Structure 1
Amino acid sequence: MGDASAAYAARAEEYTALFGSMDAVHDDDRDLVLRWAAGLTGRVVDAGCGPGHWTDFLARQGLDAEGIDLAEPFLSRARAAYPGVPFRRAALDDVGVPDGGLGGVLAWYSLIHTPPEGVDDVLAELARAVAPGGGLLLGFCRGPRVEPFDHAVATAWFWPVDALAARVERAGFDVVETAERTDPGVRPHGAISARRRAGLSA
């Protein structure tokens, strides 16, 4: 993830111009995030927040939202664009909160650069951080099998929805909703909405 963060840092201005606005978000994704966020209580972290537009969106829904990222240029842009929203430097596998300290985590295309052998560790950290009943929402590049592809920034991985959902369940969440979409000119999209189970993860 360090290599990916450095690559994003180098291209933060370009990425922000292309994707760093809610105007660039598909209506279905906006609706899914709204459904997921409804009823969440406590602090919600936008993990891998990039330019911070999703963090601000969550905050505007009345949530106690905070963005975390490893790329300082993203954090600087996010703080400038959304001065009323907190942003800090932290990693997906170390979100920097006490056990059960979060009401939810949005990880929107944040795990795509994590190699498959590292995904369980990230999900275990998110399960540790999210309180029972809290939410997790993942957005990712969907494919027929787990395999790498040449992303414009750094190597990324496709995931079948069922395969990633099984990892999410194993980490200690119950999958509530999945979504798939294929739009012209972009990679197939997948999303998984889940809630943290009580007790230890399996």
Structure 2
Amino acid sequence: MSDELVCHAYRARAAEYTNLLGSIEDMHEMDRQRIAQWAASVPGAVLDAGCGPGHWTHFLHQQGIDVSGIDLIPEFINTARSRFPEVPFWVGSLRSLDIAHGSLGGVLAWYSLIHLDPAELPEVMAELHRVLAPGGHLLIGFFEGESGLPFDHAVIRAYFWSIEQVSQLLQDAGFAVLEVETRHDPPNRPHAAIVAIAGTR
């Protein structure tokens, strides 16, 4: 799905989204534990890729992590800058990051790839690999299910992905999968997270 379509949909509902899901207290306790544990092992600066209104970025900053956030939606970035002025945020696309090759120790992509069409995932995963130093860590969160199956997300169409498919795409992009986590707690959609490490180029 094009950045323009996703941006248009989220801009129309940015304030609503922030009110409902823009606080770390609104996040699942197990997600907070997972992300904090992951961040503690990251060897360098971290990018919160698709940071939304900045709550996870600020959470990482509070853990003492050198972190910045990027998002496609200007309203999210304006809100994040206002709420967390001590953290750097900027508007940009995950398809083409204005970040030097191999300059990051970690990338958090927490539910920020869910609107990508199946054919678009390899391009974005390759870009995330490009900005990570060898040995850098990636943490992805997504909806687990039949790979590439679309569903009506509250904002705009999103996709389920299987552990097997995401793991293969990560390997194809130069990552090695380290950890896999799943959680099924109805009525929420099934959750999955994968930790991967960037290989040498």
Instruction: Please report the TM-score for the alignment, with normalisation by the length of structure 1.
Output: 0.95
Is 2:70 aligned against 1:101? no
Mapping 1:122-141, distance limit 5 Å: 122-141=124-143
Partner of 2:42: 40
Counterpart in 2 of 1:186? 188
Match of 1:2 among 4, 7, 20: 4
Q: Distance in 2 between matches of 1:144 and 1:181?
A: 15
The 8 Å contact of residues 117 and 148 in structure 2, kept in 1 or not, is answered as no
The equivalences for 1:96-175 within 5 A come to 96-175=98-177
Aligned-partner residue type, residue 137 of structure 2? G
Cα shift at 1:170: 1.1
1:74 maps to a residue whose letter is F
**Cα displacement (A) at 1:94:** 1.2
* Matched residue SS, 1:132: strand
- What are the Cα deviations for residues 112-149 of structure 1, in whole angstroms up to 9, with x where unaligned? 00001000000000000000111111111111332111
Moved more, 60-69 or 27-36: 27-36
After TM superposition, give the deviation of residue 41 of structure 1 in Å. 2.9
Q: Deviations over 1:28-64 (max 9, x none)?
A: 1111112211232322110110010000011111111
Counterpart-to-counterpart distance in 1, 2:147 and 2:52:
27
The one-letter amino acid paired with 1:7 is: A
Q: Distance in 2 between matches of 1:145 and 1:174?
A: 20
Give the aligned partner of residue 67 of structure 2. Answer: 65
Code of the residue aligned with 1:169 in structure 2: it is: Q
Taking structure 1 as reference, are residues 121 and 157 closer, same or farther at Cα in structure 2, changes over 3 Å only? same
1:103 Cα shift? Answer: 0.9
Equivalence for 1:195: 197
Q: 2: CA distance between counterparts of 1:96 and 1:108?
A: 20
Specify every segment of 5 or more residues in structure 1 that has no aligned partner in the other structure, as ranges: none
CA RMSD of aligned residues (A): 1.0
Distance 1:152 1:177 in 2: 29
Query: In the aligned structure 2, how far is the partner of 1:35 from the partner of 1:2?
Result: 34
The alignment's TM-score, normalised by the length of structure 2, stands at 0.96
Q: How far apart in 2 are the matches of 1:173 and 1:35?
A: 20
Which whole-Å CA distance do the structure 2 matches of 1:145 and 1:157 have between them?
8
